[in-house]
Chains A and B, each alone.
Chain A
Amino acid sequence: MLEMTIHEKACRGCQLCLDVCPTDCFTFDEVTQKAQVAVVENCIECLSCSFICPSLAISHKNHHQVKNFYRNIEFSRRMEKFL
């Protein structure tokens, strides 16, 4: 089952995720001024929200991973060594 989480403390309330999501998975909480995941079932795993989020605060779990053939494998491996 797909899981989508927003790190609440990191959310700056810019609503860019609401703008880019093609299937309207998010809602905006006017009180806390933060985005929330409303209907995760709608998610088509395009990861647009994850890429547009200025804080990189949106993360997906158990999503279908497509191999990125254009990615630089050597540099991607270095990312595993980051502290």
Chain B
Amino acid sequence: MSGNKVRLNTEWLCDCGGCHVALVDLHEKMLEVLQSVEILKCPVLTDEKGYPEADIGIVTGSVRTEHDLVAVRAMREKCKIIIAFGTCAVYGGLHGAGLAHTREEIMDYVYRQSPTTKTDTIPHNSISALAKMVTPIDEVIEVDLYLPGCPPHAHYILQGLSSLINETTPRVQRETVCAACNRVMKKTDVTEIKSPSEGFADNETCFLSQGYICQGSVTLDRCLAPCPNHGIACSGCAGPTMQVLTEPTRDIRTEISDRMSRLTKIPYDTIKTHIEKSAKTHYAYAMATKMIGNKPTFLIQKWIAEGEVL
């Protein structure tokens, strides 16, 4: 891809828009990228309604509506390389947690029950209807590269994009959020799990050692650990580690319980049951992907079957 500028398309499906903002987070490095990249379509920058031919296509968000389906297929047709960008595109993302509810429940809450909603009508023709499932894009089209993260940190975006442009091999890091966290993990005599709102966690010591549930050890580092380094336990927004994804016997709740029970005096089963009770929170980001949903240890398929007639 040397010589002429690399043509870039980006498209925005069902997501919050944070991934496109993350591209702007490149700050002045954006100028470096723009020297070798020409942006043809970008919903927040260009007024391009069609899908021009491009070399790289960045797709953010998951497929939840008819529009998403048409858009993602058009992107595949026109772009040589498709990058599933951000947790929504790779795993289905946060709104995957909506799978634990029926579509009626979601529409009713958003348009009728929500405390900030004043209308009492559910729109019928002005927006695309919700599909039955939240679908990560690789179940609809062939994806060439994955960059999870909610959103991916500018460091990883630049690393990924520059290796694509310069045709070099990126250094793919498989380490977890713990690897970038500054807290010290030590063994303690804590006997009870604490809720995040309970007291103040010590800033020097690992959350798990203090009895707070933190998903850092089961989450791929595509963020450089801003949350645990600023006093907030990791919520797993970049999706599970490759270890959890590829090993059927290893799951988010078992991995956390294993490590936490060794660090504290809290029994393994207590932690596991605690996480199961708040599963929608802990599994939200990756619930919609079959990589997690098809695990023998995971019950999401059962929940969906109970709620929706597939």
Q: How many residues of A contact B (CB 8 A)?
A: 27
Q: Are A79 and B242 in contact (CB under 8 A)?
A: yes
A54 touches B172 (CB 8 A): no
Once the chains bind, are A54 and B241 in contact (CB under 8 Å)?
no
Residue interface bits A36-73, CB-to-B below 8 A is 1, else 0: 00000000000000011011110000000000101110
Q: Are B241 and A56 in contact (CB under 8 A)?
A: yes
Q: Is the CB of B247 within 8 A of A81?
A: no
Closest to A73 in B: B246
State the CA gap A52–B175 with chains docked (Å): 12
By beta carbon, the residue of chain A nearest B90 is A82
- Contact B179 A7, beta carbon cutoff 8 Å: yes
Cα separation A54 to B156 with both chains bound (whole Å): 21
Which residues in A have their C-beta under 8 angstroms from that of B208?
54
The listed residue (A9, A12, A19, A75) touching B291 by CB distance below 8 A is A75
User: Count of chain B residues with Cβ under 8 Å from any Cβ of A?
Assistant: 45
B210 CB-CB contact with A under 8 Å:
no
Please state if B156 and A83 are interface contacts (CB–CB under 8 Å): yes
Contact of A15 among B174, B187, B248, B294 (CB under 8 A): B187
* B185-203 interface (Cβ within 8 A of A): 185-187
A71 cross-chain contacts in B, Cβ below 8 A: 246-248
Chain B contacts with A in 160-193, Cβ cutoff 8 A: 160, 163, 170, 172, 174-176, 178-181, 183-187
What mask results when residues 3 to 19 of chain A are scored 1 for a CB within 8 Å of chain B, else 0?
Answer: 00001011011111001
The closest CB in chain A to the CB of B143 belongs to A81
- Say how far B36's CB is from chain A's closest CB, in angstroms: 17
B147 within 8 A of A: yes
Give the distance in Å from the alpha carbon of A44 to the alpha carbon of B248 in the complex: 23
A binding-site residues for B, Cβ under 8 Å: 7, 9-10, 12-16, 19, 33, 51-52, 54-57, 68, 70-72, 75-76, 78-79, 81-83
